[in-house]
Amino acid sequence: MGPNDSGPAGSPSAGAPARPPLPGGRFAARGSLTGTLAKIALLGLFTALGVWAVLPLYVAGNWWGIALAVAVVALVYWVYLSGRSVPAKYLVPGVLLLMAFQIFPVLYTMSTSLTNMSDGHRGTKEQAIASIEAYSVVSADSAEEYTLTVATTGDPETGELVFLLTDADGRAYAGDSEGLEGLTGASVDDAGKVTDAFGYTVLSPNEVNARSDELQEFAVPTGDGAGIRSSGLNSAFEGSALRVYDAGCDCIEDSETGTVYTADDERGAFYSEDGERLAQGWQVGVGFDNFLRFLVNPTFASAFFGTLVWNIAFAASVTFLVFVVGLAVALTLHTPRLRGKTAYRILVVLPYAMSSLAMYLLWRDMFNADFGLFNRMLGTDVDWLGDAWAARGAVVLANVWLGYPYMFLVATGALQAIPRELSQAARLDGAGPWQAFRHVTLPLLMVAMAPILIATFAFNFNNFNAVWLLTRGGPFPAEGTMSGGATDLLITYTYRLAFSEATAQYGYAAAMSVMIFLIVSVMSVVSLSRSKALQEVDR
Amino acid sequence: MTAETADTAVRPVYRPTAGSRFALWARRQGWRHAVMLVVAAFALFPVLFVVSAALNPVGTLSSSQLWPTGASLDNARDLFQNTPFRAWYTNSLFFAVANASATVLLSALAAYAFSRMRFKGRRVGLVGLLVIQMFPQFLAIVAIYLMFSNLGELYPAIGFDTRWGLLLVYLGGALSINTWLMKGFFDTVPKELDESAQMDGATHAQVFFRIMLPLVTPVLAIVALLVFINTINEFLLASVFLRDTGAQTLGLGLYQLVDSQRNANFGMFAVGAIMLSLPTLAVFWFLQRYISEGLTSGAVKG
């Protein structure tokens, strides 16, 4: 036990005098030599980090980024050198990380939810036009041929594509989405391939293959609607674009078919008169359309509300069952003398100590219809994860197995805090064991357990692993995955929208995230207002 | 008890027979054993199955029985030789250890400020921490993904498939409900202790590192344990960040192992599942004396 078991944790000592104000002022002014040295070393390290952060921003000419980095470094220096604000010294590291990687992403999610951002709607209108024109480049008869080496600036997987080209006379060029420039100082082999060029990363054939989709749409503009496109991995040709943008009518005309595609700035794409749309669009604000879509549109609304109902049912039933099982086990072991108590405790807590990620996968395989343990042991032929209700039952069962040991530990602790005399007194007054438990022990227990139950519910409401690793949200109805699977939680549905469908729908997925946020907020506000947690703030 | 003694005094001497003694035992203790045996069986059988499958010489799901049918290390050898197991394991442990230690430090620093100091914005900060909990980090996964596709171009060192990028994201969640848990525990440490240290000329940093931290070890241990377990089992963020096979964690690796070949790779998966559970089991074992104390100090609050 720790040094703090003089009273129940957190109970204010009765009659304690009011706290004196506690600014940094009463602390000694100067620390030890070690402390000072550590401070200098850490500040030096942080400065180095700042310089490292500024360099690429400088190269990219991102002045706002540089200003931000400088401001953060200056803030840190001020906090740790001025000695004026002691609390800030303790809060700054965590708060900086919190702002950068939690609060900023949350705000970014909210702004993304108001756009149509998705595959095909990622960039600006200019990028969409460049991509459309480049994609329609066809070889002219007397086209110039180049030997092509695909390279990037920076990382092979995410860096911007660059074509390193050599023409028939052996001159080398570098072309990116901005245009073509001469390239000096590159090493070129006999076949005309560039093997090394300063500032560029030459891609291996495998790395090129990994980005073949992008390569398809990539062309180096050479002016007047002409551009250089790749044909295969090793050669490129210059040709002219079939589809050319005309700023006058804000439209794109296809010179082969004569179709005119007019820009629709509300939907972020070019549409022809008969409603045909060009694949490459751009990102535009759509207001609350994403939200309206799953609140009003019949297909999406039924998927959304169906998922929401199951999501609540899932979280509630798992919370209830782990509470009942955990409490039952805790009550069974809550007796002064029981042979093998320690052994029972260890066995019962075992699921909690196993890796839950691996255990979810294990349960999925135990439920496997063809080879799984359950069908083989029970001699049944049930498609556990293929039938809607069997899958729901399986998901709940696996989560009860993983979740009850925690409840058992918490309930044991809470039971030990309740004086045994209380239920004994009730028994003397003629209450049966059940009555004594129901009317004396349980109400006292609930005081301690209520916050834990709320937390468990909130956790399971967004328990991504619980569903994704077992069923991935399935089984799915015949209409496809967009209408939501039988075990889908909102969070797994969102994840699939953004990362697992053929076309990623970031804007729509972000709107779902915001909806989950709102739902959880409402539930938390209701439960928090009924608990005493907030009173602690003023203590 | 007193009532029973009074009864026996009136009646003739009562000698319990073997049968009635058993009935008494069954009523007092026996049913407890019966219930516990059922629960223990429920708790144990998946664990037994995974151990049996790991030792199963055939190594397929369809041939694995609940009770071990043989003892062979073939599955382990397959896993170690045919997959980048060592890289996966190192990655998993790196994330879990680095995130747990950094989170404990950052959270303790903030909890100290919230517990011992009064400053402008303290209330807003505490309530704000609760509010931001309602928007778990993984809900912002779309934004984090988009954000890091841009960041990765500027700083390849923290882009996708790197350790530092994902660790940074994890650390964004360092100040969380854990900070509340710690603050509650810090509040129980008597103020007089650090005040007397200040009288003796200690700086606030010395009070924190020399006085407070040793006194709150239980809550530090429990937060470290929770963060360690959560990180090693984290799937969502890791699956979006780590796409290169060599950069993945053991959890992601196992997921793909049974995803591609559900039946054939099961033996390898079982070995990996045990390996993934070992660190958690070890942490539990070493921190067990803090567990019920730490969990319930969180529970009894509120």
pLDDT at residue A261 is higher than 60: yes
Question: Which of the two residues, A151 and B302, has the higher pLDDT score?
Answer: A151
Distance CA A155, CA B265 (A): 33
Put simply, the answer to whether A105 touches B217 (Cβ < 8 Å) is no
Put simply, the answer to whether A539 touches B187 (Cβ < 8 Å) is yes
* pLDDT, position A146: 83
pLDDT at residue B298 is higher than 70: no
Distance (Å) from the C-alpha of residue B56 to the closest C-alpha of chain A?
A: 14
- By C-alpha distance, the chain A residue nearest B122 is A537
A304 within 8 A of A295, measured Cβ to Cβ: yes
pLDDT at residue A21 is higher than 50: no
Distance (Å) from the C-alpha of residue B227 to the closest C-alpha of chain A?
A: 13
> Which of A257-271, A439-453, B81-95 is the least confident region?
A257-271
Put simply, the answer to whether A28 touches B159 (Cβ < 8 Å) is no
- Say if A381 is an interface residue toward chain B (CB within 8 Å): no
Distance CA B242, CA B162 (A): 7
Tokens in use for A420? 């045994």
Average pLDDT rounded to a whole number, residues A255-266: 77
pLDDT at residue A292 is higher than 50: yes
Distance (Å) from the C-alpha of residue B23 to the closest C-alpha of chain A?
A: 16
Distance CA A215, CA A203 (A): 12
* pLDDT, position A31: 64
> Which of A9-13, A35-39, B69-73, B171-175 is the least confident region?
A9-13
Q: B277 to chain A: which residues are within 8 Å by CB?
A: 353-355, 358
pLDDT at residue A273 is higher than 80: no
Q: B36 to chain A: which residues are within 8 Å by CB?
A: 329, 332-333, 340, 344, 348
Q: Which among A135, A121, A134 is positioned nearest to A264, based on CA atoms?
A: A121
* pLDDT, position A481: 66
Which residues lie below 8 Å from residue A292, measured CB to CB, with a gap of 6+?
A: none
Beta bridge partners of A160: A153
The tens digit of pLDDT for each residue in A142-200 reads 667 888 888 887 677 767 788 888 887 778 888 887 778 887 777 788 777 888 877 78
* pLDDT, position B103: 94
* pLDDT confidence tier of residue A9, bands split at 50, 70 and 90: very low
Q: A532 to chain B: which residues are within 8 Å by CB?
A: 302
* pLDDT, position A278: 76
Put simply, the answer to whether B46 touches A366 (Cβ < 8 Å) is yes
A121 vs A278, A283, B83, CA distance in Å?
11, 5, 38
- By C-alpha distance, the chain A residue nearest B255 is A361
Burial environment of residue A148 by CB neighbours within 10 A (0 to 12, 13 to 18, 19 or more): buried
Provide the residue ranges of all domains of chain A, joining segments of one domain with +.
Answer: 34-112, 125-250, 295-538
Average pLDDT over chain B reads: 82
pLDDT at residue A206 is higher than 60: yes
- Say if A518 is an interface residue toward chain B (CB within 8 Å): no
A327 within 8 A of B30, measured Cβ to Cβ: no
| Interface pTM, i.e. ipTM | 0.85
Average pLDDT over chain A reads: 80
Measure CB to CB from residue A448 to each of B141, B169, B299 and give the nearest one. Answer: B299
> Which of A21-30, A310-319, B106-115, B197-206 is the least confident region?
A21-30
A153 within 8 A of A162, measured Cβ to Cβ: yes
pLDDT at residue A215 is higher than 90: no
Same fold, A125-250 and A295-538: no
Helix (H, G, I), strand (E, B) or coil at A456: helix
Fold designation for A295-538 = MetI-like fold (1.10.3720)
Distance CA A157, CA A118 (A): 20
* pLDDT confidence tier of residue B300, bands split at 50, 70 and 90: very low
Residue A337, phi-psi category: left (phi > 0), alpha (psi -120 to 50), beta (remainder): beta
* pLDDT, position B294: 55
Scan residues 315-354 of A and list those with Cβ closer than 8 Å to B. Answer: 325, 328-329, 332-333, 335, 338-340, 344, 347-354
Put simply, the answer to whether B198 touches A406 (Cβ < 8 Å) is no
Fold designation for B83-300 = MetI-like fold (1.10.3720)
Average pLDDT rounded to a whole number, residues A211-240: 76
Length of chain A, in residues: 539
pLDDT at residue B107 is higher than 90: yes
Put simply, the answer to whether A499 touches B145 (Cβ < 8 Å) is yes
Q: B173 to chain A: which residues are within 8 Å by CB?
A: 98, 101-102
- By C-alpha distance, the chain B residue nearest A87 is B113
Scan residues 84-123 of A and list those with Cβ closer than 8 Å to B. Answer: 85-87, 89-91, 93-95, 97-98, 100-106, 108-109, 112, 117
Class of domain A125-250 as given by CATH: mainly beta
Sign of torsion, CA A108 A111 A117 A122? Answer: negative
Provide the residue ranges of all domains of chain B, joining segments of one domain with +.
Answer: 15-72, 83-300
Read off the DSSP letter of residue B189: S
* pLDDT confidence tier of residue A1, bands split at 50, 70 and 90: very low
* pLDDT, position B299: 36
Put simply, the answer to whether B272 touches A363 (Cβ < 8 Å) is no
pLDDT at residue A371 is higher than 80: no
Average pLDDT rounded to a whole number, residues A106-110: 88
